[in-house]
Amino acid sequence: MSQTKDYRVSHLDALEAESIFVMREVMAEFERPVLLFSGGKDSIVMLRLAEKAFAPGRIPFPVMHVDTGHNFAEVLEYRDRRVAALGLNLVIASVQEAIDTGLVRELPDGTRNRIQTPVLLNAVEKYRFDALFGGARRDEEKARAKERMFSFRDEFGQWDPKNQRPELWALYNGRHHPGESIRVFPLSNWTELDVWHYIAKEQIPLPSIYYAHDREVVERDGMFYAVNEFIRLRDGETSQVRRVRYRTVGDASQTAAVLSDADTVDKVIDEVAATRITERGATRGDDKVSEAAMEDRKREGYF
């Protein structure tokens, strides 16, 4: 007697299938897509999804890093090694170059997250990208929570909540005029825990800073920042060596670590499952500027 085959898919398989569908849909609808790749875990997972979406062929679009110049060395090393291994074309939109040419002006506090938006928009116009894959997830913070899978941007690269298209079932509207573009978020329905389960399932290597290691840090505003050329001690501050890891990767001048002993994927999954604070709420100084910080940056054309 034959047994009935089990066609059920896991939660993780369903998320993967949705993301791959979105990537293939973009390739069918757009002429010049690009994937934003920072060397962070979400964009690393997107690269893995792109590999599977277009296998056995190569990933059919370039990747772009909006490089503020305030990077963690481990992340840049990973970025270059991963791009070389996949044979991808890496486009670097350099904030330092934009400062040198006068496109943007350095801020008094030395941070560069805010001034990367004009650099991104300049690169979109220069290379005529019409679809930009981003790694944002709805569970990260409230500005992302209400984002569409296909996020329409006008000819100035700006987001307007009143100018977004309805998304019914899996129907995505990518129509746009020349100069307009769509930001595409294939990981919208994933959580941080889903991302880590997928990293474990696919055995995806990550930059070493995602795992617990000893590091010289300074505690500032309740967060632990690595002491480096971008974070220097202020009067009255002292550094200390603590065992930390990073939950998200951004500028070394804005991204803090968390105290942790999680030095393997399984330990990280246990840690993330137990936490009640999102990775951005726990580690990103740029998100603490105001309640509407990310919303304001979206309107200016960010991510």
> Which pLDDT score is estimated for 111?
85
Residue 275: alpha-carbon gap to chain centroid: 20
- 76-91 as b/e: b if 16+ CB within 10 A: eebbeebbeeeebeeb
Distance (Å, rounded) from C-alpha 186 to C-alpha 34?
A: 13
- Percent of the chain topping pLDDT 70: 93
Tell me if 256 sits within 8 A of 225, measured CB to CB.
Answer: yes
Residues in contact with 284: Cβ distance below 8 Å, sequence separation at least 6, in sequence order: 248, 250, 254, 255, 256
φ/ψ of residue 96, rounded to 5: -60, -45
> pTM for this structure?
0.89
Residue 211 DSSP one-character state? S
Q: Check residue 284 and give its pLDDT.
A: 60
* Mean predicted lDDT score pLDDT of the chain: 91
- Distance CA(224)–CA(226), nearest Å, equals 7
If residue 74 lies in a helix (H) or strand (E), which one and from where to where?
helix 73-86
**What is the reported pLDDT for 65?**
97
176-203 b/e (C-beta count within 10 Å ≥ 16 → b)? beeeebbbbbbbbebbbebbbbbbeeee
d(CA 47, CA 68): 21
- pLDDT, tens only, 190-249: 999 999 999 999 999 999 999 999 999 999 988 999 998 888 888 999 999 999 999 998
Q: What is the pLDDT of residues 258-293, one digit of tens each?
A: 999 999 999 999 999 998 887 766 666 655 555 566
* Residues 16-34, mean pLDDT to the nearest whole number: 97
Residues pairing with 257 in the sheet: 224
pLDDT band at 73 (very low <50, low <70, confident <90, very high): very high
Structural domains of the chain, with CATH: 11-194+292-300 (3.40.50.620), 207-288 (no CATH)
**Residue with the larger pLDDT of the pair 189 and 299:** 189
Query: In sequence order, what DSSP letters do the residues of 87-121 get, joined into one string?
Result: TPPEEEEEHHHHHHHTSS---TT---TTTHHHHHH
From the list 99, 81, 184, 95, the residue with the least C-alpha distance to 136 is 184
Is the pLDDT at 164 greater than 70, yes or no?
A: yes
